[in-house]
Amino acid sequence: MDKQPTIGRFAPSPTGPLHLGSLYTALAGFLQARSQQGRWLLRIDDLDTLRNIKGSADTILKTLESFGLHWDGEVYCQSRHIDVYNDIISDLQRNRLIYPCTCSRKKLTASVRKQAPPDIYPGICRNRQTPPDCPYALRIKTDNRIIAFRDELQGLIFHNIAEQDGDFIVQRKDRVIAYQFAVVIDDNLQHVNHIVRGFDLLDATPKQIYLQQLLGFATPGYMHVPIIVDEQGYKLSKQTQATAVDLTAPHGVIFKLLVLLKQNPPIELQQASVTELLSWAIAHWHPLLLKNTHAVS
C-alpha cells in the first residue's frame, strides 16, 4: 500500500503579529512537510472573537510570505465552519456523550476532591438530566481508557484521560467552541495527517486523540518541538510581551531560526537569500537533532 503524502498545517490565532516563537514553529512544520514532498496548509484559528485583533490575519499571511513560507491551497478559517462544529455537538448530545455544566471556577476550587489535582473536573454536573436555565458549558464524558501515542521527538506517551483530565469542556459558557474540540474537527476536514507544533501543547494531545477516537477520525502523527524561551526561561508568547518578528532582514531571521532548530546551517549561508536558505533547509532537514534540546532566543 502506498504511503499517504504528508499533509501538515500551521494554525495561528489572529491575536496580533507573529513573534519569533510562532515563526520558529511554522518553519519546523513547513520543513517537515516540504522535506517529505508533502502539503503545508494554513489555518486561522479565529473562533475566540474577543481575542481577535482586526487585521491580524492579513498581517500573519504577509509575514509568512515575507519569509518564503508559502502554504498550499486556500486559507482555512475556523469561523466559516461553525455549523460543522455545532452539528457534531448536536450528535454528541443526542448520544448523551456530552452534558451541560454550570460550575464556576470558584465552585470547583471549593468542591474539588482531595485525592484529585485541582484542574481535574470532579463530575458535579455529569448526571444532569435537563439543561439548566442559566449559561452553561458543555463537557465531554471521558472514560478510563489509556491514550498511548509515540511522539516523534518526545517518545512514547501514556495518558489516562479520566484520571489526568476528567470531563473536559468542548463548548464554553459564552458558546465559543473550545480549542480542543475545534482543532480535531479542523484537522479531519483538512485531512491533516502530521502535526508539528510546540512542546507546550503536548499535554493537549491525549484529549484530542480521545476525541478523534470518539468521533471515528484518524489520528495524525505528532512531533512536538522544543519551544523558544527567553534568557529567564519563559516561553516567547504574546503574554510575555514577545515582540513582532523583524521583517527588515528575513534571511537573517531564517538563518537564526535554523540555528535554533539545531539544523547547523553552514556559515557561508548567513548572507544567502531566503529562497536559498529554505532550499538548503528542506534538503537537509533532520528533526531528530531537536531531541532532548531546548531553544533560547
Q: Is 12 annotated as a binding residue?
A: yes
Q: Which residues contact 31 (CB under 8 A, 6 or more apart)?
A: 261, 278, 281, 282, 285, 287
**Backbone CA torsion sign across 283, 196, 70, 22:** negative
Q: Is 237 annotated as a binding residue?
A: no
Q: Is 121 annotated as a binding residue?
A: yes
Retrieve residue 97's grid coordinates.
Answer: 456523550
Distance CA 172, CA 178 (A): 6
Can you give 145-200 as a three-state secondary structure string? CEEEEEECCCEEEEEEHHHHCCCCEEECCCCCECHHHHHHHHHHHCCCCEEEEEHH
Q: Is 43 annotated as a binding residue?
A: no
Backbone angles phi, psi at 21, to 5 degrees: -65, -40
Closest CA to 29 of 239, 198, 203: 198
Q: Is 90 annotated as a binding residue?
A: no
Matching residue, cell 470532579: 122
Q: Is 66 annotated as a binding residue?
A: no
Q: Is 222 annotated as a binding residue?
A: no
Closest CA to 35 of 292, 278, 256: 278
Q: Is 101 annotated as a binding residue?
A: yes
Distance CA 177, CA 48 (A): 8
Q: Are 123 and 167 in contact (CB under 8 A)?
A: yes
Q: Is 181 annotated as a binding residue?
A: no
Q: Is 9 annotated as a binding residue?
A: yes
Count of Cβ atoms closer than 10 Å to residue 109 Cβ: 9
Q: Is 103 annotated as a binding residue?
A: yes
Residue positions forming the annotated binding site for Zn(2+): 101, 103, 121, 125
Residue positions forming the annotated binding site for L-glutamate: 9-13, 45, 179, 197
Residue positions forming the annotated binding site: 9-13, 45, 101, 103, 121, 125, 179, 197, 238
Residue positions forming the annotated binding site for ATP: 238
